Chain A
Amino acid sequence: MRKPVAAIAVVCGLTLAGCQTVALPSLNLNSVAALNTVYGIQNAFGVAVNSANAYRALPLCRTGTGPGVANICAKRSVIERLQAAMRKARLAVNNLVALQKAYPSVDITNALAAARSALNVVQHILASGA
C-alpha cells in the first residue's frame, strides 16, 4: 500500500516541479525598474563628470590664493581629490551596469548603494571647490 502512495507522490512532485520551471511570458517589472535606476544614476554621474571637467578647465589658482569673485580658478588640491574620487565612482558605476546586464533580475541594491556613495563623494568635493 505504501509503494503506490509513494509513487503517486513522486509523480505529483515531479509534475509540480515541472510546472515551476516553465517561464511565464510577462513583463519583468524588476528589470524595467533596475534599468531606470541604473540609467538615472549614470546620468547624475554624467552631470558630475561634466561639472568636474568644467572646473578643471579653469586656470589653476596661484599658490596661496583661493577662488573668489575676482579670481575664478581651480585648486590643484581639489582636482587631485576629485580625480581619486572619480576613479572610484567610475568603477562603482561600471560595476553597477555590468551587474545589471549580467543578472537582469538580481537585486542591485548593494551595487547601487556603492555607486550612490561614490557619486556623493564626488559631489561633495565639487561643492568644496566652489
Chain B
Amino acid sequence: MVTAAEVSAGLAAAETIVNAIIKVAPAIERGVVSSIPYVQAIAGLIGGKNATAEEIDAVLARINAEVDLFLSPLPPDDGSTTT
C-alpha cells in the first residue's frame, strides 16, 4: 500500500527532474537544431547524392567556426566547479 507521503515524495522528485530538464532544454534544442543540416547531408549521401567541392568548402568553414566556439576558454574555476 502506497502512502500519501510516498506519493508526495515521488511527485516532488518528478518535479525536480522536470525542472532540471526545462532549465537545460534550450541548450539541448539548439544542439539538435544546429545538427540538422549535417544529418540532412548524411541522409543525402546515403540517398545517392554526390558531394561537390563547394559543399565541402562550405561545411568546413561552418565546422571550423563551430569548433572555435567550443574551444573558447571556460570561465575560471573558483573551486566550485572543479569536477
Interface residues of A (CB under 8 A from B): 32, 35-36, 38-40, 42-47, 49-66, 69-72, 75-77, 79-80, 82-83, 86-87, 90, 93-94, 97, 100-101
Contact = CB atoms under 8 A, between A and B. Distances in A.
A10 to B, nearest CB: 42
B71 A50 contact: no
B60 to A, nearest CB: 5
Contacts of A42: 56, 59-60, 63
A63 B83 contact: yes
Interface residues on B, range: 35 or more
A100 B30 CA distance: 32
8 contacts: A32-B50, A38-B51, A39-B51, A42-B56, A61-B81, A82-B70, A83-B71, A94-B64
A90 B63 contact: yes
A101 B28 CA distance: 35
B35 A50 contact: yes
Contact of B16 (A49, A70, A82): A70
Given A35-B53, A70-B16, A97-B60, A76 B74 contact: yes
B34 to A, nearest CB: 5
Contact of A54 (B20, B27, B50, B59): B27
Contacts of B39: 43, 47
A77 B81 CA distance: 9
